[in-house]
Amino acid sequence: MEIENGGILQQKNAKVAYQDAYYEGVNFKVGWQQRDKKDPYFELYNNPIYGIGFYSSTFNNDIIGNPYALYGFVQTPIAPREHSRWSYDYRIGLGLSGNFYPFDEEDNPLNLVIGSKNNVFIDFGIRTQYAFHPKWRAGLGLAFHHFSNGALALPNSGVNLVPVTISVNYQPNPMPVRARKADIPPYSRRTLFHINYGAGVKQLSEYNDHLYFKSTISAYASRHVSHKWRIGGGLDLFYSSSGNDDEVAGDKSGDLGSKLSGGPSFYLAHVLNQRLVLNGNVGYYIHNQVFNGEINKFFLRAGARYYVYQNINAGVSIKAHMGKADFIEWTVGYTFNR
């Protein structure tokens, strides 16, 4: 169990949404420590804990809401030491949230940060713990939470929190820290080739609630630079159905250049195990259209992918322009030479 407090990051253009707000939250988590001899990544990450969590919170005002979330997480020990009462870890979590009070022109006009009741929940945390009993630990840490709907509903400035956390952890069957084995196989030197397709929808204006279809075709090549990291590059091609709308594209409506955009991108992958990967991109538009929401020449992407069967993967990403979400991509992909 984890209790958290304070740490609201207020946007300059939306401070009115946080008037009289004070953030408090609680997490309940259940996890399983991984020791699978078939996957060397569990050894490389010091036998991490994979699990599920339930989050509940309040802002103590009637504008933002009392959000909750259900999420999956990976908690990784940092440099564990034998026979030490002190331990350190970091975690990454991803899930879905609900019970926000969304923006409404009549009923909730002051909420200028989030336009939907349900949103994506992203969680990062770091913590130190002290074992006061063989099965019990108390911890102190710092977290970062981000809530966003990927421009499914505007406004979508997002809710960002950096609370202090206090935790109590119970482990019914604690596993002793053991030295890392020396027989971990070397990482692959092969070049991997990736083809991905993503799709989603986007609202372009707070005054037009129409959702426009958007899709992505991506092709990258990458190589391992360590067991945990792959880097590479490739191309992204984007389609925006809003390029067919006269109210959006004006005289350019229907033109191929109004619907298509894209450019080269740097590709980064953080490999958590043989099936689960965190992916990211930094790209540059050779061609883009501001009226489709492509408001900056640079685009960013962050997400997760899971290899569901051999070389076939599925996942979700948030595409953004310098911190402002463009849309949520639901992706499928295939990796060659894996």
The tens digit of pLDDT for each residue in 46-58 reads: 999 999 999 999 9
The residues with which 193 forms a beta bridge, in sequence order, are 221, 336
Identical fold, 2-170 and 192-336: yes
31 HSE (CA, 13 A, CB side): 26
Q: How confident is the model at residue 35 (pLDDT cuts 50, 70, 90)?
A: confident
Tell whether the model's pLDDT for residue 175 goes beyond 90: no
Q: How confident is the model at residue 173 (pLDDT cuts 50, 70, 90)?
A: confident
Query: Model pTM greater than 0.75?
Result: yes
CB neighbours of 271 closer than 8 A, spacing ≥ 6? 41, 224, 227, 228, 229, 230, 277
Per CATH, the number for 192-336 is 2.40.160
3-state secondary structure of 250: helix
Q: Class for domain 2-170, per CATH?
A: mainly beta
The Cα–Cα gap between 279 and 271 comes to 9
The Cα–Cα gap between 230 and 272 comes to 11
H runs (alpha helix) in the chain: 40-44, 246-249, 256-259
Nearest partner of 102 among 116, 120, 119, judged by Cα: 116
- Please state the domain extents for the chain: 2-170, 192-336
The tens digit of pLDDT for each residue in 286-326 reads: 999 999 999 999 999 999 999 999 999 999 999 999 888 99
**How much is the pLDDT for 13?**
76
Average pLDDT, the chain: 94
Tell me the percentage of the chain whose pLDDT exceeds 70: 98
The tens digit of pLDDT for each residue in 126-154 reads: 999 999 999 999 999 999 999 999 999 99
Token pair in block for residue 110: 């002051």
Residue, of 239 and 20, whose pLDDT is higher? 239
The Cα–Cα gap between 22 and 18 comes to 8
Tell whether the model's pLDDT for residue 28 goes beyond 70: yes
Average pLDDT over residues 235-262: 97
Average pLDDT over residues 167-184: 81
CB neighbours of 167 closer than 8 A, spacing ≥ 6? 1, 2, 3, 127, 129, 137, 138, 139, 140, 141
Phi-psi map region of 106: left, alpha, beta (phi>0 left; psi -120 to 50 alpha): alpha
